[in-house]
Amino acid sequence: MTVAKEYKLTLNLNEAIEDFNPDLTEEQIEMIARDICLKWSYSDMYNQVEHKALEFMKLADFGYETEHESIDHEMHR
């Protein structure tokens, strides 16, 4: 199945960090952003996307039935 349009989520860490604390220097912002980027785990984000997609599939009645009760439970927290 081919997806007609791609959707991406992007976040500029430097801008986000500066929003959180505008008094930081560029060097401090870069140091923090680099540390976050190097240590970031995408598994939580991927799991959130999975749960939102499964929830949408069920609500939109796309014929998707979950195989695991735990997924159903977590989607409706």
pLDDT-based confidence at residue 36 (cuts at 50, 70, 90): very high
Q: What does pTM read for this prediction?
A: 0.62
Mean pLDDT score of the chain, rounded to an integer?
86
Asked if pLDDT for residue 35 goes beyond 80, the answer is yes
Predicted confidence at residue 69, as pLDDT, reads 44
Residue with the two structure tokens 């540390």: 35
Domain chopping of the chain, boundaries: 10-40, 42-77
Residue with the two structure tokens 């220097």: 25
Q: Where are the alpha helices (DSSP H) in 1-77?
A: 13-20, 26-39, 43-59, 69-75
